[in-house]
Amino acid sequence: NITIKINGMEVSAPEGSTILEAARLAHVEIPTLCYLKDLNEIAACRMCTVKINGGKLAAACVYPINPGLEVWTNTPDLVEYRKKTLQLILSNHNRSCLSCVRSGNCELQTLCKELGVEDSDYYDGEKTPSCIDESAAHMVRDNSKCILCRRCSATCEKVQGIGVIGANERGFATIIGSAFDMGLGETSCVSCGQCIAVCPTGALYEKTCIDDVAAAIADPSKHVIVQTAPAVRAGLGEEFGYPIGTNVEGKMAAALRRIGFDKVFDTNFSADLTIMEEAHEFIERVQNGGTLPMITSCSPGWIKYCEHYFPDMTENLSSCKSPQQMFGAIAKSYYAEKMGLKPEDIVSVSVMPCTAKKFEIGRDNQAANGCPDVDYSMTTRELARMIKKFGIRFNELPDEEFDAPLGLGTGAAVIFGATGGVMEAALRTAVETLTGEELQKLDFTDVRGTEGIKEATYNVAGMDVKVAVASGLGNARELLNRVKSGEADYHFIEIMGCPGGCVNGGGQPQQPGSVRNTVDIRALRAKVLYDEDAAKTIRKSHENPAIKELYETYLGKPGSEKAHHLLHTTYVK
């Protein structure tokens, strides 16, 4: 460790720490705007400027500590300097904060408040010309609220390995955009929304459907049903002040009922259904010489990425629709018949931790009953806004249950929301199907955890089954390149578009840099799902009684003609 002085106090921090990290150890927060640990360490915004040894200025986010270093973080002139920096940002910023989607959790707004910036128009003058880009299916880019921090472009390029946004022009004209000023919808953006998750302001946000959903609910001729993805219950509470890693499943079901949905269902039901179809498909491919490795197909950001960047591997994709889409197809067929409803009178809404799901609902081949399987897909954040808009006092709600039968899910389904969860769920079913014996240990811990790439080999009925799991598209690329070069061979691969899986999806509540840099959000949210799995009495998809009944009375067997028509899809090369 190295000892330095911060504001006159001795602090000891590991060698290699920055001033920012050392200050945190002393419980001193130095403000930041652009900084994201290991990702965007460019000291561009200068908010973290501190004084060192006798008055020199340094950017705390990148300046490494050395023995005897003296640091001042909060002298009156430093506070004045930071206020000026904020005033300069504000002079080129759209300040319609009242109606901004980020009002209340904007990192720029928070800093202005904390530092007492009252004269937001102090340096007002010419503004950089900007426009609103609505060309993508899932999101809006509003450069009038961009502060040029580069968090979005760093995430797109370094985490996802895509790089469809970056700085165009120079100096005062600098603007974040795509090459040749193309709309995002015209690029190979995969709709993952990871850029939105890290944006400190309201420059990037999802296209919202909450007014359309509210209108459907108010229409007495419509039967409006909702499904909630596994990961939503692990994130939604953050919007209502609960600590990261709080399971709010019961309150969420209660809130959805109070919003006025006719039925409150769970994507976990169709995650179990996905496992039935996917495990069957996997066994078929192994036994009949089908294309291997088979790769999971539930993450639409990953699917779009595969189509754009690995088109020669689309045959490896499972033909299973995602649980979101399977749910919609079953709701408008099996459930519609049970209820005596016409499919077109059902409005099928999903709540997802994901922005790519907005794109997925409009893909070809996702309308098994002559109308879209899912009509509207909203993010976890949109659901929180809707709950607030409807005046529902979320924190006071009782815990309620989902409705039957499409609200019944097992432990295997709920872990879908964490990287490795789909693989583990599939293994629980595939192993029991192949061996005909009950699994002694349901936990496949090798595929758990937030590591970007995981591998394991399991001996199943005399065969060594090699599996791999990747989350985040940069990791997916690395894994697939290993497969293509022959360096690795697997039978089954799970890929999720977002690092850590859906719990860290682009539609989840946004946490500020100060939290993202110090807490492993993905692990805390994933723990919610693994704890729920461990507490369930039914933890295998093939033991879900509602799924058994669906096959017995309607679909026949996994892979049947009817199942294929409703639950499987095709891809674009």
Q: Which residues pair with 141 in a beta bridge?
A: 133, 204
328: contact with ligand HC1 by CB under 6 A: no
In the bound complex, what is the minimum distance in angstroms from residue 296's beta carbon to ligand HC1?
A: 8
- Contact with ligand HC1 (CB under 6 A): which of 193, 293, 407, 505? 505
DSSP code for 551 = I
59 versus 264: smaller Cβ distance to ligand HC1: 264
What does the block give as tokens for 508?
């989840």
Identify whether the C-beta of residue 69 lies closer than 8 Å to the C-beta of residue 5: yes
What does the block give as tokens for 388?
């607030």
In the bound complex, what is the minimum distance in angstroms from residue 33's beta carbon to ligand HC1?
A: 29
35 versus 359: smaller Cβ distance to ligand HC1: 359
- Contact with ligand HC1 (CB under 6 A): which of 202, 237, 499, 501? 501
Residues 426-465 that bind ligand HC1 (CB under 6 A): none
Q: What burial letters (b/e) apply to 531-558, b meaning 16+ CB within 10 Å?
A: ebbeebebbbbbbbebbeebbeebbeeb
- Contact with ligand HC1 (CB under 6 A): which of 89, 196, 271, 313? 271
In the bound complex, what is the minimum distance in angstroms from residue 415's beta carbon to ligand HC1?
A: 9
Per CB under 6 A, the segment of 5-13, 24-32, 281-289, 347-355 that binds ligand HC1 is: 347-355
147: contact with ligand HC1 by CB under 6 A: no
Sign of dihedral through CA atoms 69, 75, 78, 83?
positive
417 versus 509: smaller Cβ distance to ligand HC1: 417
Sign of dihedral through CA atoms 538, 350, 314, 305?
negative
381: contact with ligand HC1 by CB under 6 A: no
The amino acid sitting at 151 is R
21 versus 278: smaller Cβ distance to ligand HC1: 278
Distance, CA of 406 to CA of 383 (rounded, Å): 20
47 versus 384: smaller Cβ distance to ligand HC1: 384
Distance, CA of 145 to CA of 90 (rounded, Å): 9
Contact letters for ligand HC1, residues 276-315 (x by CB under 6 A): ----------------------xx----------------
In the bound complex, what is the minimum distance in angstroms from residue 463's beta carbon to ligand HC1?
A: 26
DSSP code for 406 = T
Per CB under 6 A, the segment of 137-145, 497-505, 541-549, 559-567 that binds ligand HC1 is: 497-505
229: contact with ligand HC1 by CB under 6 A: yes
4 versus 189: smaller Cβ distance to ligand HC1: 189
568: contact with ligand HC1 by CB under 6 A: no
Identify whether the C-beta of residue 378 lies closer than 8 Å to the C-beta of residue 208: yes
73 versus 267: smaller Cβ distance to ligand HC1: 267
For helices 267-288 and 323-330, what crossing angle results, to 10°?
Answer: 110
230: contact with ligand HC1 by CB under 6 A: yes
Q: Which residues contact 319 (CB under 8 A, 6 or more apart)?
A: 281, 297, 568, 569, 570
83 versus 363: smaller Cβ distance to ligand HC1: 363
In the bound complex, what is the minimum distance in angstroms from residue 232's beta carbon to ligand HC1?
A: 6
Per CB under 6 A, the segment of 171-179, 217-225, 317-325, 514-522 that binds ligand HC1 is: 317-325
Distance, CA of 549 to CA of 346 (rounded, Å): 22
- Contact with ligand HC1 (CB under 6 A): which of 352, 378, 566, 567? 352
Distance, CA of 455 to CA of 494 (rounded, Å): 10
- Contact with ligand HC1 (CB under 6 A): which of 193, 323, 407, 513? 323
What does the block give as tokens for 464?
């060594």
Q: How many residues bind ligand HC1 (CB under 6 A)?
A: 19
Contact letters for ligand HC1, residues 387-426 (x by CB under 6 A): -----------------------------xx---------
Distance, CA of 293 to CA of 130 (rounded, Å): 46
Residue 435, CA distances (Å) to 387, 442, 573 in order: 47, 14, 36
Distance, CA of 50 to CA of 566 (rounded, Å): 60
Per CB under 6 A, the segment of 115-123, 152-160, 320-328, 385-393 that binds ligand HC1 is: 320-328
What does the block give as tokens for 396?
């006071």
189 versus 526: smaller Cβ distance to ligand HC1: 526
Per CB under 6 A, the segment of 50-58, 64-72, 228-236, 451-459 that binds ligand HC1 is: 228-236
- Contact with ligand HC1 (CB under 6 A): which of 17, 201, 267, 379? 267
Q: What strand order describes the sheet that includes 223-228? A: 263-266, 223-228, 346-352, 376-379
Contact letters for ligand HC1, residues 524-553 (x by CB under 6 A): ------------------------------
Helices of type H across 295-450: 300-309, 323-330, 336-339, 356-360, 380-389, 411-414, 421-435
354: contact with ligand HC1 by CB under 6 A: yes
Distance, CA of 26 to CA of 23 (rounded, Å): 5
143: contact with ligand HC1 by CB under 6 A: no
324: contact with ligand HC1 by CB under 6 A: yes
Q: Which residues pair with 264 in a beta bridge?
A: 226
Query: For ligand HC1, which residue has the nearest CB?
Result: 502
Q: What is the CA radius of gyration of the chain?
A: 25
Q: Which residues contact 345 (CB under 8 A, 6 or more apart)?
A: 221, 222, 223
Cα atoms found within 13 Å of the Cα of residue 239, Cβ hemisphere only: 27
In the bound complex, what is the minimum distance in angstroms from residue 460's beta carbon to ligand HC1?
A: 23
Residues that bind ligand HC1 (CB under 6 A): 229-231, 267, 271, 298-299, 322-324, 352-354, 357, 416-417, 501-502, 505
